[in-house]
Amino acid sequence: MNRVVPGFALSLGITLFYLSLIVLLPLAALVWQATDIGWSRYLAILTGARTFAAFEVTLTTAALATLFNAVYGLALAWVLVRYEFPGRRLLDALVDVPFALPTAVAGIALSALFAKNGWFGGPLAGLGIEVAYTPIGIAVAMAFTSIPFVVRTVQPVLEDFAADVEEAAATLGASDLRIFARVIFPAIFPAFLTGASLGFARSLGEFGAIIFIAGNRPMKTEVVSLLTFIRIEEYDYPAAAAIAATLLGLAFVMLFVVNMIQLWQQRRIGTGD
Amino acid sequence: MASEPTSTPQPQVPAPLLPDPLLTDPLASGAPGANHAPRRIRVGDGPATRRVMIAVVLVVTLLALVAPLAAIFAEAFRQGIAAYTASFASSDTQYAIWLTVLTALIVVPINIGFGIAAAWCIAKFAFPGRNLLVALVELPFSISPIIAGVSYLFVYGAQGLLGPFLEAHDIKIMFAVPGIILASLFVTAPFVARELIPLMIAQGSEEEEAAVTLGASGWRILRLVTLPNVRFALLYGAALCNARVMGEFGAVSIVSGNIRGQTNTLPLQIELLYQDNNAVAAFAVATILTGVALVTLVAKAIIERLDAARERTAGRPGH
């Protein structure tokens, strides 16, 4: 406890008061509304065909988006850390575009790109691939908004990775691929998993980027966040509360997963080396 | 293991593998740096692997990140500059710009204040529950804006916790500007705090402690010692917070009620124009927010550069 520097009570007081008012009170109200509807009705809402389909669509497209970002994000982080080339700094700055660009803007931009006469939609239609108004479109939007997660979690770990470890492996005659698989990847794996989990969590709740490209057909291309929104517009508050509370529960599960990964990582660093 | 050949002709000092990007002109790179030191054997350093990796990543990035940005401007100027500028003539759009700026002017300073307070108690003191507090500060990042909007409805809406009380006193929060501000506060609460906390922990409290022994008051220390030390992180956090406030869509679309010319912020106005089949206007309005986003990213790049330069002159290790 630091007893020299002043302002502990004041700063902690402000922080707790503000968090209670702005974050905890609304979330408590949501949980209160959800518990108010009763267990059997809650289950009935969640297992209703349309809600169930929305969760199914959301989880599968989020998994697809995460898979894409796991590969692309890892490659991007690798290229940014390991190679020097003209435009590297610009590339590094571009990674943050999905965080800085409003989701609604990303949404209309992606739907313009993948429209029938769009830059991507035209050529893809020629190949018989439809993206707009299909689950693939949802996955594209989710992938776009969560690109930075894997890159930004893997990048610092890869930067700190000691060169002598892989040099040792190389002097022992291991091939590049083998060194990557057996030495480098295990070292960055916890960070990689953290980034992928964060991206997945973000995709589960994504709304703005998706609704413009998804087509939003119930049972087919309707995501959970949109269904929540629709229930609110229909004044069906119990259903909105039940779905939103479930989504909140999923967010907490993902947070727990990320924390477990980080704990595991710290323990590994503590005992390793 | 001790008998491993340790005398490979390599420099003992871990020379930077990459030429320092902050000191070298990025356009002139390729020539210096790499050729000076004896080549280290590192994974993926082969010319073929290197070229393929860079090329693949650049192509995917071009498609995934650059194309959407380019599409926004291409669509906005599809019918020429006159149609572009005419998009801003509607009073609803002008109102949306005003409301968005107003929201940012209220939300960003409040969350700067919160960020400083949270970082102060978390970084300068050890207390039970500190890790839990950090998790709480970052919680809004993990929660869908839609959940945030719905939650606020259940507090301040007609059927919410405080609904009857607010109605009795004729206070309107939902489907009005206060609701938009509250939802934006929730969504952007962690931005400044998250930039400040790790930096202030890394910097320690020695300078503040010295200031205390010299008799400075808490406010004076904050103003003259702590804030100057973290000013770049503070600026960056504020810039990100601002971009996010101006672009927030999900939470705001639930609490605002989408009333034209009354509760429409810029992202909602973009949606409205797009649904009205007025794509040029929608993209024209979107260029404003894209501009804000790009300025934020440029600011980030500049701030990182200044920060690195400052660390160098201060003689701190570069990590």
Interface ipTM: 0.92
So what's the pLDDT on residue B148?
97
Cα angle for residues A53, A59, A63 (degrees, 5° grid): 145
Query: What would the two tokens of residue B213 be?
Result: 């022994």
What pLDDT, on a 0 to 100 scale, did the predictor assign at position B289?
A: 97
CA dist., res. A164 & res. B12, Å (int)? 11
Q: Measure Cα distances from A212 to A24, A138, A198, A215, B285 in Å.
A: 31, 9, 23, 7, 16
Radius of gyration of chain B from its Cα atoms, rounded to whole angstroms: 25
A101 interfacial to chain B (CB closer than 8 Å): yes
Regarding whether A100 and A227 lie in a shared domain, the answer is yes
Tell me: do A117 and A220 sit in the same domain: yes
Per-residue pLDDT averaged across A206-228, rounded?
A: 95
Cα B277 to chain centroid distance, Å, stands at: 31
* A2, A63: one domain: no
Separation of alpha carbons A56 and A228, rounded Å: 15
- Whether A126 and A233 share a structural domain: yes
Number of structural domains chain A divides into = 2
Judge: A30–B144 Cβ closer than 8 Å, yes or no: no
Quote the domain boundaries for residue A16: 1-36
Q: Which domains are assigned to chain B?
A: 91-313 (1.10.3720.10)
**A18 and A114 part of one domain:** no
Rounded CA-CA distance A228/A46 in Å is 12
Are A63 and A160 contained in the same domain? yes
pLDDT recorded at residue A192 = 96
Mutation for A interface: B58, B69, B142, most A CBs within 10 A = B142
Same domain, yes or no: A257 and A126:
yes
Residues A32 and A46 in one domain: no
Residue B41 and residue A167: Cβ atoms within 8 Å?
Answer: yes
Question: Please, which residues 12-41 of chain B have a Cβ atom closer than 8 Å to chain A?
Answer: 14, 17-19, 21, 26-27, 29-30, 33-34, 40-41
- Tell if the CB–CB gap between A82 and B136 is shorter than 8 Å: no
Element holding B199 (H helix, E strand):
helix B190-203
Residues of B in contact with A55 (CB under 8 A): none
For B109-130, give one letter per residue: b (16+ CB within 10 A) or e.
ebbbebbbbbbbbbbbbeeeee
Question: 3-state DSSP call for residue B272?
Answer: helix
**Which one, of A233, A206, A197, lies nearest residue A57 by Cα?**
A206
Chain-chain contact of B57 with A91 (C-beta, under 8 angstroms): yes
Same domain assignment for residues A179 and A102:
yes
Report the amino acid identity of residue B166.
L
Structure tokens at A9: 């009570």
Determine how many CB atoms are found less than 10 A away from the CB of residue B12: 5
Write the pLDDT tens digit of every residue in A113-140.
Answer: 999 999 999 999 999 999 999 999 999 9
CB pairs under 8 A between A and B: 313
pLDDT above 70 coverage of chain A, percent: 97
Q: With b meaning 16 or more CB within 10 Å and e meaning fewer, what string describes B272-306?
A: bbbeeeebbbbbbbbbbbbebbbebbebbeebbee
Residues A22 and A52 reside in one and the same domain: no
Whether A203 and A84 map to the same domain: the answer is yes
A91 interfaces chain B, CB cutoff of 8 Å: yes
**Alpha helix ranges (H) inside chain A:** 8-19, 25-36, 39-47, 49-82, 88-94, 97-100, 103-113, 121-126, 135-145, 147-160, 163-171, 176-179, 185-205, 208-214, 224-233, 237-271
Are B72 and A2 a contacting pair at CB < 8 A? no
For tokens 């190389």, what's the residue?
Answer: A170
What's the confidence (pLDDT) of residue B40? 54
Retrieve residue B29's tokens: 């790179």
Pair (A112, A129) in one structural domain: yes
Handedness of CA B112, B113, B118, B123 (dihedral sign): positive
Question: What pLDDT, in 10s, does the model give residues A21-61?
Answer: 999 999 999 999 999 999 999 999 999 999 999 999 999 99
- Whether residue B267 lies within 8 A of chain A, CB to CB, comes out as yes
Query: pLDDT value at position A175?
Result: 85
CATH for A58: 1.10.3720.10
CB A84 to CB B30 under 8 A? Answer: yes
pLDDT at A265: 82
Each residue's pLDDT tens digit in chain B (319 positions)? 333 443 334 434 444 444 443 443 444 444 444 444 444 568 888 888 899 999 999 999 999 999 999 999 999 999 999 999 999 999 999 999 999 999 999 999 999 999 999 999 999 999 999 999 999 999 999 999 999 999 999 999 988 999 999 999 999 999 999 999 999 999 999 999 999 999 999 998 999 999 999 988 989 999 999 999 999 999 999 999 999 999 999 999 999 987 777 899 999 999 999 999 999 999 999 999 999 999 999 998 888 888 788 777 765 444 3
49-78 in A: which are within 8 Å (CB) of B?
A: 72, 75-76, 78
